[in-house]
Amino acid sequence: MSALATCDVAIIGAGPAGATAAYLLARQGYDVRLFDRRGFPRPKLCAGLLTWKSIDLLERIFGQSLDRLKDHGLIVHTCREYRIYYKMKEIGGGRLDFPFHFVERPAYDHHWLRLAERAGAKTITGTAVTGVDAEAGRLTLADGRAFGARMLIGADGVWSKARRALPEQIFNERRWRANLAATIEIRHPNDSTLPPSECACLHFGYVPRGYAWSFPGRTARTLGIAGLRTPRSGSIRKDFQTFLNSVGVATDMEACWKGSPLPYGNYLEQPVHRRLLLIGDACGLADPLLGEGIYYAHASASIAATAMVEANLEAGPAGRMYRERLNRTLIRELRWIKLWRTALFFGGRLRRYRGLGLFCRLLPKRLEAAVQGRHPFSRLLLPGSGRNHNPQIG
């Protein structure tokens, strides 16, 4: 039997969360191995929207400004106008102070992976991690190889294998599934039947506990739908079809539909067990209103890596620091977003989103600032403090 290969940190999953953690830890001189079942660049279903807080965080973590991201060709589209609809009735909208930026995920994710490699992380792609032992700090791969590490990071997305290494009293499968949204997305070429528009549109009223979107792009619009499912929910495919019909998209596109689950309020407050920390989608860290997860992937990776460096890879202290800081920053904000979602968005459907419409008319800039991360959702009804709200991560 060959000797067990060992390293300081083994990271499962090389998406934005895993690549960010690998970059930050490798830069500190740790021996980091980054595993992904896919070869890169790999496809990833995503609308690719970056809000202000993501752009700000990328500069703080990687030192790459918006101009650098554009120079690298990562920002493929920018849009300043947005509209909010209840079905086809416009209930809000305007001009954004800071535009939405759009990326193509294969190139975007590959970029951060290359930076992690340049910082010294060793990547092993094209073979899945099939076993995770959080107690021993050990991974096994589909090809039979095994790796030992002082600490493990689970960054393997919504279907995380690493998450299964958490004991039942920490990971509640029922709560997880109850807050997992179904999604469908398509790309609709710009030169087709749909009237051209440079507007990012959010549509409520097509799916009971979620929303549909239509985002502009360089060559195609991205149209999608996300919603929580209950035993009484109808088919999300039907909801999506109704949405496509009402915005005038030809109905013969079903063959191009792609779907994937999205964490939608199932963030784990205890994402730590023995030598293992979970980050990004594996930890349920996406915004439970709009489903924005790229920011939370980078941010949770940064919090985890900082805790591990400060604890010099001592699993106990690193885990405690990560859990405490994550709850104080990202999870606190996600809890508030979830509360607002119930009050304004999901609850609002019974009154045809009149509350949301009123909010959009009276406090449009406050809502915009909260979505962009410049104003906390906990203070949505209060004026801004003028401070930069983005938690000091990175």
Ligand X SMILES: Cc1cc2nc3c(=O)[nH]c(=O)nc-3n(C[C@H](O)[C@H](O)[C@H](O)COP(=O)(O)OP(=O)(O)OC[C@H]3O[C@@H](n4cnc5c(N)ncnc54)[C@H](O)[C@@H]3O)c2cc1C
Angstrom distance (rounded) from CA 21 to CA 303: 9
Smallest distance from the beta carbon of 149 to ligand X, in angstroms? 14
The stretch near ligand X (CB under 6 A) out of 31-39, 236-244, 332-340, 362-370 is 31-39
Can residue 35 be called a binding residue for ligand X (CB under 6 A)? yes
Can residue 155 be called a binding residue for ligand X (CB under 6 A)? yes
Can residue 128 be called a binding residue for ligand X (CB under 6 A)? yes
| CB of 46 or CB of 331, closer to ligand X | 46
Stretch (H or E) spanning 101? strand 89-103
Matching residue, tokens 């983005």: 390
The stretch near ligand X (CB under 6 A) out of 9-17, 55-63, 329-337, 342-350 is 9-17
| CB of 92 or CB of 280, closer to ligand X | 280
The single residue among 11, 13, 330, 367 that binds ligand X, judged by CB under 6 A, is: 13
- The C-alpha angle with vertex 373 and arms to 367 and 375, in degrees rounded to 5, equals 60
| CB of 12 or CB of 228, closer to ligand X | 12
Would the CA dihedral through 190, 369, 299, 264 be positive or negative? Answer: negative
DSSP 61: H
- Total of chain residues touching ligand X, rule CB under 6 A: 39
Map residues 169-198 to x or -, x wherever contact with ligand X holds by CB under 6 A: --------------x-x-------------
The single residue among 27, 44, 60, 379 that binds ligand X, judged by CB under 6 A, is: 44
Angstrom distance (rounded) from CA 102 to CA 88: 24
| Nearest by Cα to 221 from 76, 54, 70, 51 | 76
| Nearest by Cα to 242 from 253, 230, 251 | 251
Smallest distance from the beta carbon of 36 to ligand X, in angstroms? 4
Can residue 99 be called a binding residue for ligand X (CB under 6 A)? no
The stretch near ligand X (CB under 6 A) out of 42-50, 168-176, 234-242, 359-367 is 42-50
The stretch near ligand X (CB under 6 A) out of 6-14, 90-98, 312-320, 321-329 is 6-14
Window 263 to 302, contacts with ligand X (CB under 6 A): 280-282, 286, 291-295, 297
What single letter denotes the amino acid at residue 297? Answer: A
- The C-alpha angle with vertex 323 and arms to 49 and 276, in degrees rounded to 5, equals 90
| CB of 9 or CB of 17, closer to ligand X | 17
Tokens of residue 249, six digits:
């998209």
Strands 262-263 and 180-189: antiparallel
* Residues 125/36, Cβ–Cβ less than 8 Å: yes
Matching residue, tokens 């709560």: 175
Tokens of residue 298, six digits:
């980078």
| CB of 11 or CB of 360, closer to ligand X | 11
Tokens of residue 146, six digits:
């095994």
Residues that bind ligand X in the complex, under the rule CB under 6 A: 12-18, 35-38, 42, 44-49, 128-129, 155-157, 161, 183, 185, 224, 260, 262, 280-282, 286, 291-295, 297
